[in-house]
Amino acid sequence: AQRVTQPEKLLSVFKGAPVELKCNYSYSGSPELFWYVQYSRQRLQLLLRHISRESIKGFTADLNKGETSFHLKKPFAQEEDSAMYYCALSGPGQGGKLIFGQGTELSVKP
């Protein structure tokens, strides 16, 4: 079954603390993995995709095929990072469909 799991519904940290948002996936094949961010009442925006291996706004994510994980990390959280974060996958031959995790709400306190 194709599935994306984000085990934490809410993650609350203090400003300057490290952040890790967990994402595990189930897919038979080689999916493409993404992180999307949704700031309060705004559109979803692409944050990262695993094939580009870049760092955006200080966030990084490494695909671990052995553990089928794609955790999102940032060493020092900022208040403006507070948002809803979605992990998603897309598989070949799926018509571009994105399968989303349940989302993790990140709250960064001052």
Partner 1 sequence: DTAVSQTPKYLVTQMGNDKSIKCEQNLGHDTMYWYKQDSKKFLKIMFSYNNKELIINETVPNRFSPKSPDKAHLNLHINSLELGDSAVYFCASSALVYTFGSGTRLTVV
Tokens 């999916």 belong to residue: 31
Residue 43 contacts partner 1 per CB under 8 A: yes
* DSSP code, position 94: S
Binder to partner 1 among 24, 56, 98, 107 (CB under 8 A)? 98
| 33 in Cβ contact with 48 (< 8 Å) | no
Binder to partner 1 among 24, 44, 50, 69 (CB under 8 A)? 44
Q: How do strand 60-61 and strand 83-90 relate by DSSP bridges?
A: unpaired
Binder to partner 1 among 77, 86, 106, 108 (CB under 8 A)? 86
Bridge partners (DSSP) listed for residue 109: 14
Number of chain residues interacting with partner 1 (CB under 8 A):
17
Residue 65 contacts partner 1 per CB under 8 A: no
Tokens 């671990």 belong to residue: 64
Binding site for partner 1 (CB under 8 A): 42-46, 49, 84, 86, 95-100, 102-103, 105
